[in-house]
Chains A and B, each alone.
Chain A
């Protein structure tokens, strides 16, 4: 799967490329409006990550053009502006998602997966990791063909882990993924712990090996 990342901050651009490449994506990068516009015209991408404030133009124009020429390409807007108007305009123009800087790379990855999944009707409907199967459409998970009884949060957590498998996920990023950024409380970290504990127990009881490990107190890793 081929991605184009249009972001003028070299360092941030490189971070995204590094994280996403590990997930098996091929990434092209553009550092300004004109490069981005040219590359979009030349090639076909599965998904495009675009910053709104670019040297040489507004990212919203790129979204507009892309939507007209390649309607099946997924679009995620990345912006520091967090202006409601931009968000609404962006989504109205056909962007699939909107992320505000700063964001967690794991969150970006999860959103990207979700966008690709939603757009790719004929593609992968199940995510398989060992004897674990996750069905995003029906929000179900099976272990060795047996359905897991998960709460909504536990399912979200599992999907987040599976999407970012073999990566260290910090407690903060998990908390924000599950509860959004209105929960600015240390308590949410305790919830993360509780939910992970329950998820692990359910997975193990269903006959899976415990796939979640604690990494030096830094965070958690779903390894397979």
Chain B
């Protein structure tokens, strides 16, 4: 949940609780006030009635008074209550409903005879007032709530904008971009601290990364010269006439290993150079022609393995890439299809405007397809590959935003390259 949503929800929750409690106490206070007022009026009536009886020595006219109704009834001396306040409901024929009344019952004497008076006061007006007051209050509360929540939301959003900006930049940050993480300065202390910490951290990581990369590069380059020396000395050694069979085979093995090491090193340097974006000179390449060229070059290799090539589609496709890298990409894909094929197998090639698809027969993979594009992954150690071919494919694809995917369909390994930037 976003922090803005979260704070807004908490804010709403607390506001609703506060408003409910406030509303409830307001209701209680208002009710008490109204009862007090009504009761006061009833007692005023009572005082008036008693005063009237005393001064006029007769029962007052029942309609005179503030109250809605005054009921007089003769009563026995002991039956009547001295004074009692209560609520009652009386059916109103006009409204066709029960109307709440407050009633005061008291007993007074005239000429020694007890009379029970019941003074009734309708609560209807007060109830109406009460209701409209509560409704107005409720509206005020709701509007206040919405307004406050809204203001709170926008203030928060405004305050957090720097945080979101930082987050977005941190997300987009990539070590390989060779650019430091640039964050907008902010006047919020915590966010400024966060920015500084992030910048320091990525700076450090970036430095470590560069050091490591430089080390790899230097190591690869420095290895070339000793390799060249060993390789050349071995070659000279081989020219000697006095070698025994055993010595010769040792030399041959050494030479083969040195060669393997050289090729491996060269591939690693190539990978590093692709990562370093050293191949910036792009050209528009007719991919169909290049593919055909590579197929011709590998023709005899396929013949040796008795592999049939079926061209399913060969549309003219032009891509903007570095020529050398494009050749490496295509030749590695094809070599891969040959190397991991079964004898007498097939390779199906389909080049369309949006994708290149190379299918080859062969045993299903033993490993997860995800690891396929990693370095030094070779499914079969006997094949003599170093497992760097597809790593190169993946690196080059990444550079040109092509997406290589692998699937196994109907006994065929299927490698697809999706083109995005397709000119033509």
Q: Footprint of B on A, CB under 8 Å?
A: 9, 11-12, 15-16, 18-19, 22, 80-85, 100-106, 153, 167-168, 170, 172-173, 176, 179, 181-188, 190-191, 194, 215-219
Contacts and interface: CB of A to CB of B under 8 A. Distances in A.
B229 A218 contact: no
A22 B239 CA distance: 10
A9 B335 contact: no
Interface string B302-320: 0011000000000000000
A182 B297 CA distance: 11
Contact of A11 (B229, B305, B386): B229
Interface stretch (B165-173, B181-189, B258-266): B258-266
B263 A106 contact: no
A46 to B, nearest CB: 21
Nearest to B264: A184
Nearest to B262: A102
B252 A80 contact: no
Interface of B: 221, 224-225, 227-233, 235-236, 238-239, 243, 245, 248-249, 251-252, 255-256, 258-259, 262-263, 266-267, 269, 273, 278-279, 297, 300-301, 304-305, 324, 327-328, 331-332, 335, 339, 383-386, 389
29 contacts: A9-B228, A15-B233, A22-B239, A80-B221, A80-B224, A80-B225, A82-B224, A101-B228, A102-B228, A102-B262, A104-B231, A106-B235, A153-B300, A170-B255, A170-B256, A182-B328, A184-B384, A185-B335, A185-B339, A185-B385, A186-B383, A186-B384, A187-B301, A187-B304, A187-B305, A188-B301, A215-B248, A216-B252, A219-B252
Given A172-B255, A217-B248, A217-B252, A12 B228 contact: yes
Contact of B249 (A11, A81, A217): A217
Contacts of A184: 263, 267, 384-386, 389
Contacts of A216: 243, 245, 248-249, 252
A219 B258 contact: no
A146 B377 CA distance: 51
Nearest to A185: B384
A181 B259 CA distance: 10
A23 B385 CA distance: 35
Nearest to A194: B304
A81 B419 CA distance: 32
A84 B384 contact: no
Given A12-B225, A12-B232, A18-B236, 7 more contacts: A9-B228, A9-B229, A16-B232, A170-B235, A170-B255, A187-B384, A217-B249
Contacts of B266: 82, 100, 181
A102 B255 CA distance: 12
B26 to A, nearest CB: 82
A15 B229 contact: yes
Main secondary structure on B side of the interface with A: helix
A83 B270 CA distance: 9
Nearest to A11: B229
A106 B264 CA distance: 21
B252 to A, nearest CB: 4
A9 B279 CA distance: 29
Contacts of A12: 225, 228-229, 232
A102 B266 CA distance: 9
A168 B239 contact: yes
A104 B278 contact: no
Contact of A172 (B228, B251, B256): B256
B229 A168 contact: no
B116 to A, nearest CB: 118
A127 B251 CA distance: 31
Contacts of B324: 84
A215 B237 CA distance: 13
A101 to B, nearest CB: 4
A9 B236 CA distance: 16
Contacts of A15: 229, 232-233, 235-236
Nearest to B300: A191
Contacts of A187: 301, 304-305, 339, 384
Contacts of B273: 83-84
Contact of B263 (A105, A153, A181): A181
Contact of A105 (B224, B236, B386): B236
Contacts of B251: 218
Query: B239, B256, B297, B328: which has the most chain A beta carbons within 10 Å?
Result: B239
Q: Which 9 A-B pairs have the closest CB atoms?
A: A216-B248, A186-B384, A15-B232, A102-B228, A80-B224, A101-B228, A102-B227, A218-B252, A172-B259
Contacts of A84: 273, 278-279, 324
Contacts of B255: 170, 172, 218
Nearest to A22: B239
A167 B241 CA distance: 10
A84 B328 CA distance: 14
Nearest to A188: B301
Nearest to A186: B384
Given A167-B239, A172-B255, A218-B248, A190 B304 contact: yes
Given A12-B229, A101-B224, A102-B231, A82 B248 contact: no
A219 B301 contact: no
Contact of A81 (B221, B229, B231, B389): B221
Contacts of B231: 102-104
